[in-house]
């Protein structure tokens, strides 16, 4: 546990594992440690644990159990879809993606485009982070195999209108990958209602352990595996299942679904934090503030202050937040997301992300408002000349 004084506002980076998930995992290390494919009792017990978790994960993702497979993380799920779908469909080579997708999507697509494997078209977003819908319609055509649109953006929390994007993709015979890594546990998910063909989630973003995630694949879509072996997980992810982590994911998925109704409380705290900081600190912009956003995310840009400096000083005050921008050898480099939104440098360089969870308290929020105000005010003050 971090020291009690630590105020953890970096839950979009990763979350604390729920005690309930940890507790459920322990017997699968100590007692039911069989291989989930072994025929004996310990194997059967492990298999039951996996299938019980699969049902919980499918319920969270709004898909059938046989449409959900376990992966190691969001990055892997996205890679299975992109590479596996290309391998299964050699005749369509175009992939369309929004300009604010996570690097697990954009870097892979850029690498594939660079070696000539795909034609890549990037769809811009507006200054407020919403997908340019007209540009999306223009980009997706009859040669498009896959469109990639995340449900909620990791830095700003901006939520994209997935059903409308799905309709466009399907009208051209293309598939839609929805990266729901940031949305899980914060928004209701449904493969069916969103109109997605593929959906990825990652356990460590919603209080499951690190190293476990899931991918939902709409029934009937052919995807080739990235590697071959024992044929586990619909043949798409050979290798002995990480049973304890899967069990932990199942518990976290159940809790995420059951506690979705209380996300309104997280939103109240996020709004309190945002309003408190904006009222106390001059010259701020709430990035993406005009769009529908994740209830736990506040991205506040402090004009003309370096976000990485703010985050460093906040860390010294035991507040954990994050900055996408950084200054390398004196060169200001805003995050790819802020660049894609076209924000002016003096705003983009000062963008700090505060992300809450169901464990965040009102008392922590109030303390954070005071500390952030003091830190930013301090950083804005001109350095005093040294006295002799």
In the complex, which residues of this chain contact ligand PLP (CB under 6 A)?
73-75, 102, 104, 150, 154, 179, 181-182, 202, 213
| Closer residue to ligand PLP, CB minimum distance, 32 or 206 | 206
**DSSP assignment string, 226-256:** SS-SS-TTTTTS-S---HHHHHHHHHHHHHH
For residues 218 and 65, what is the distance between their CA atoms, to the nearest angstrom? 11
| Closer residue to ligand PLP, CB minimum distance, 149 or 266 | 149
For residues 53 and 66, what is the distance between their CA atoms, to the nearest angstrom? 12
Give the CB-nearest residue to ligand PLP: 74
Which of 216, 171, 213 lies closest to 189 in space, CA to CA?
216
For residues 145 and 85, what is the distance between their CA atoms, to the nearest angstrom? 8
Q: Closest separation between CB of residue 129 and ligand PLP, Å?
A: 13
For residues 373 and 354, what is the distance between their CA atoms, to the nearest angstrom? 14
Q: Which residues contact 287 (CB under 8 A, 6 or more apart)?
A: 129, 155, 156, 299, 300, 301, 338, 341, 343, 347, 351
Q: Closest separation between CB of residue 200 and ligand PLP, Å?
A: 7
Catalytic-residue membership of 327: yes
| Closer residue to ligand PLP, CB minimum distance, 24 or 208 | 208
Six-digit token pair at 129? 């982070």
Q: Closest separation between CB of residue 352 and ligand PLP, Å?
A: 16
What is the number of H-type helices and E-type strands within the chain?
13, 15
Q: Closest separation between CB of residue 159 and ligand PLP, Å?
A: 12
Q: Closest separation between CB of residue 97 and ligand PLP, Å?
A: 12
Q: Closest separation between CB of residue 112 and ligand PLP, Å?
A: 17
| Closer residue to ligand PLP, CB minimum distance, 75 or 156 | 75
| Closer residue to ligand PLP, CB minimum distance, 106 or 368 | 106
Element (H, E) at 217: strand 213-217
Asked if residue 78 lies in contact with residue 105, where contact means CB atoms within 8 angstroms, the answer is yes
- DSSP-derived letter for residue 387 is P
| Closer residue to ligand PLP, CB minimum distance, 25 or 305 | 25
Q: Which residues contact 173 (CB under 8 A, 6 or more apart)?
A: 142, 144
Q: Annotated active-site positions, please? A: 327
């Amino acid at each position: 546990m971090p020291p009690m004084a630590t105020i953890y506002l970096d839950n979009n980076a990763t979350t604390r594992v729920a005690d309930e998930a940890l507790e459920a995992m322990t017997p699968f290390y100590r007692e039911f440690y069989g291989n989930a494919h072994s025929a004996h009792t310990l194997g059967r017990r492990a298999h039951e644990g996996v299938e019980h978790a699969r049902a919980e994960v499918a319920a969270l993702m709004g898909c059938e159990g046989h449409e959900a497979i376990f992966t190691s993380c969001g990055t892997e799920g996205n890679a299975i879809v992109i590479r596996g779908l290309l391998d299964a469909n050699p005749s369509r080579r175009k992939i369309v993606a929004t300009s604010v997708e996570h690097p697990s999507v954009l870097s892979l697509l850029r690498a594939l485009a660079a070696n000539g494997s795909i034609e890549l078209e990037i769809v811009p977003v507006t200054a407020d982070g919403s997908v340019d819908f007209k540009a999306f319609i223009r980009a997706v055509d009859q040669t498009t195999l896959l469109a990639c649109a995340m449900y909620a953006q990791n830095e700003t929390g901006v939520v994209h209108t997935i059903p409308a994007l799905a309709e466009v993709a399907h009208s051209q015979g293309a598939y839609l990958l929805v990266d729901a890594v940031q949305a899980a546990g914060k928004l209701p998910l449904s493969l069916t209602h969103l109109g997605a063909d593929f959906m990825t989630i990652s356990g460590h973003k919603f209080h499951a352990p690190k190293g476990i995630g899931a991918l939902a694949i709409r029934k009937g879509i052919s995807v080739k595996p990235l590697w071959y072996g024992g044929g586990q997980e619909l043949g798409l992810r050979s290798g002995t299942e990480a049973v304890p982590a899967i069990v932990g994911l199942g518990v976290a998925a159940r809790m995420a679904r059951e506690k979705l109704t209380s996300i309104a409380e997280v939103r109240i705290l996020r709004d309190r934090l945002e309003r408190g900081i904006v009222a106390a600190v001059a010259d701020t912009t709430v990035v993406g503030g005009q769009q529908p956003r994740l209830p736990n995310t506040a991205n506040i840009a402090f004009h003309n202050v370096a976000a990485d400096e703010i985050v460093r000083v906040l860390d010294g005050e035991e507040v954990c937040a994050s900055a996408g921008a950084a200054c390398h050898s004196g060169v200001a480099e805003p995050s790819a997301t802020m660049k894609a939104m076209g924000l002016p440098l003096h705003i983009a360089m000062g963008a700090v992300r505060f992300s809450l969870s169901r464990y965040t308290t009102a008392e922590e929020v109030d303390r954070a408002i005071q500390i952030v105000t003091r830190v930013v005010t301090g950083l804005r003050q001109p350095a005093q000349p040294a006295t002799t």
